[in-house]
Amino acid sequence: MNWDDESDDRIVAAAADGEDTAVEAALRPKDLGEFVGQEKVRQQLDLVLKAARQRGATADHVLLSGAPGLGKTTLSMIIAAEMGAPIRITSGPAIQHAGDLAAILSSLQEGEVLFLDEIHRMSRPAEEMLYMAMEDFRVDVIVGKGPGATAIPLELPPFTLVGATTRAGLLPPPLRDRFGFTGHMEFYAPAELERVVHRSAGLLDVEIDTAGAAEIAGRSRGTPRIANRLLRRVRDYAQVKADGVITREVAATALQVYEVDARGLDRLDRAVLEALLKLFGGGPVGLSTLAVAVGEERETVEEVAEPFLVREGLLARTPRGRIATPAAWAHLGLVPPQQGGGGTSGQQGLFGA
Ligand SMILES: Nc1ncnc2c1ncn2[C@@H]1O[C@H](COP(=O)(O)OP(=O)(O)OP(=O)(O)O)[C@@H](O)[C@H]1O
């Protein structure tokens, strides 16, 4: 299986796949009240937007940073809705020339929200044009080439730029400084994801009990997009194999079918952990050796599997190589060699609690 494009294959991928895109529109919270969690960002944004509304002004530019699937697009739509403004959605990779950006900026209406996803992936010239547009609501359109080229200034209506990035650290400081408000989106707590699951189940018209929602939430890697995707797969299972109602047992059995374990690890994550524990006694082992052992590319192990394993405190990256933590041994039901001698005994169900 090719894991390189995360979104293609993994049920626990944080990036959107084709089916997500279609369903997500229906599941998006429409206002700040419906938006679950992210209390700090929500409160701060609420103030920014209320104040702008009271002044009858366009809201300040907003930068949202955080991992994929945490609700940056959703929040940008909510900002537009709260301001009663239309929204235009585009992304950094789609703006490769300054002219692309000039065309978008010059067609904005007054007060419009421009959502620029993956803003860190814009081209340099476009980025420089954006500086002036954000600060002075003006761009210089260059006409002609070489010594005869002239800059024609173009006034823009006031607008709100909402930039989204997974890598705030990659933004050049002049761009970062031009945002009036920066909100950092955190991974969601299980109780918050439970609320997301309940809300989505209601919208999808699926019956689910509290324990069923908790089971899905616990396997969703802190990410609402994954919670919604797992819910849809569990709904399929409940419909085909059970009476349509999602209970803890139905959710756990369904997700076992999809190889998502109690902590949200999938087959690749577990293969990496198992190799680290069973073949290398918990490490330290070099990344390349570990990748060969699981039959994957180095980059796949490093970029696709490891970030979540590190975040979960199951694996650590050290200068001497990768090492497993005591929690990794416990999660796979294995005994560390120093304590138990065998290292691979006592394996229990990987899908257990
Ligand atoms: N706080 C939330 N409450 C309820 N649902 C949410 C919340 N955040 C996100 N979702 C749901 O998760 C899905 C993904 O959210 P969204 O597209 O906004 O994420 P994103 O951060 O923009 O992802 P990407 O960076 O990949 O574009 C949507 O279906 C949305 O409804």
DSSP 192-238: HHHHHHHHHHHHHT--B-HHHHHHHHHTSTT-HHHHHHHHHHHHHHH
- What residue type is 275 in one-letter code? A
From the CA of 25, give the closest atom in ligand 1: 29
Question: Is the Cβ atom of 72 under 6 angstroms away from ligand 1?
Answer: yes
Closest CA to 16 of 94, 146, 117: 117
261 annotated to bind ligand: no
CA of 241 to the centre of ligand 1 (A): 29
247 annotated to bind ligand: no
Residue 140 parent element (H or E): strand 138-143
pLDDT band with cut points at 50, 70 and 90 for residue 352: very low
Tokens found for residue 134: 């954000």
- The answer on pLDDT for 330 being more than 90 is yes
Identify whether 150 is a catalytic site residue.
no
Residue pair 68/166 in contact (Cβ under 8 Å)? The answer is yes
Q: For the beta carbon of residue 347, count every other beta carbon within 10 angstroms.
A: 12
Closest CA to 306 of 343, 265, 352: 265
- The answer on pLDDT for 22 being more than 50 is yes
Alpha-carbon distance of 251 to 245, in angstroms, equals 10
pLDDT of amino acid 338: 66
CA of 66 to the centre of ligand 1 (A): 11
* pTM given for the model: 0.89
Per-residue pLDDT reduced to its tens digit, 80-129: 999 999 999 999 999 988 889 999 999 999 999 999 999 999 999 899 99
State the sign of the Cα–Cα–Cα–Cα dihedral 206, 212, 214, 216: negative
Identify whether 8 is a catalytic site residue.
no
What percentage of the chain exceeds 70 in pLDDT? 93
Mean pLDDT of 286-314: 95
* Catalytic entry in 10, 20, 58, 72: 72
Question: Is the Cβ atom of 24 under 6 angstroms away from ligand 1?
Answer: yes
Give the helix, strand, coil percentages of the chain, each rounded to 5. 50, 15, 35
pLDDT band with cut points at 50, 70 and 90 for residue 279: very high
> Which 3 state secondary structure label does DSSP give 83?
helix
pLDDT of amino acid 94: 93
pLDDT band with cut points at 50, 70 and 90 for residue 152: confident
- What residue type is 288 in one-letter code? S
Tokens found for residue 149: 């080229």
pLDDT of amino acid 7: 43
pLDDT of amino acid 21: 74
> Which 3 state secondary structure label does DSSP give 96?
coil
Q: Which of 6-10, 141-145, 163-167 has the lowest mean pLDDT?
A: 6-10
Per-residue pLDDT reduced to its tens digit, 37-50: 999 999 999 999 99
Residue 248 parent element (H or E): helix 248-257
CA of 69 to the centre of ligand 1 (A): 5
User: Residue whose CA is closest, atom 7 of ligand 1?
Assistant: 71
* Catalytic entry in 165, 166, 223, 300: 166
DSSP 160-196: EEEEEES-GGGS-HHHHTT-SEEEEPPPPPHHHHHHH
Which phi-psi region, left, alpha or beta, contains residue 159 (left: φ > 0; alpha: ψ -120 to 50)? beta
Between 272 and 12, name the one with better pLDDT. 272
Between 141 and 1, name the one with better pLDDT. 141
CA of 257 to the centre of ligand 1 (A): 25
Alpha-carbon distance of 159 to 49, in angstroms, equals 13
pLDDT of amino acid 346: 43
Mean pLDDT of 164-184: 91
- The answer on pLDDT for 344 being more than 80 is no
Question: Is the Cβ atom of 41 under 6 angstroms away from ligand 1?
Answer: no
pLDDT band with cut points at 50, 70 and 90 for residue 347: very low
pLDDT of amino acid 148: 86
CA of 226 to the centre of ligand 1 (A): 9
Question: Is the Cβ atom of 73 under 6 angstroms away from ligand 1?
Answer: yes
ipTM reported for the complex, 2 dp: 0.97
258 annotated to bind ligand: no
- What residue type is 121 in one-letter code? R
Alpha-carbon distance of 108 to 268, in angstroms, equals 45
Q: Which residue of 27, 70, 193 sits with most ligand 1 atoms within 8 Å of its CB, as the best mutation to test the pocket? A: 70
Phi, psi angle pair for 99, to nearest 5°? -60, -35
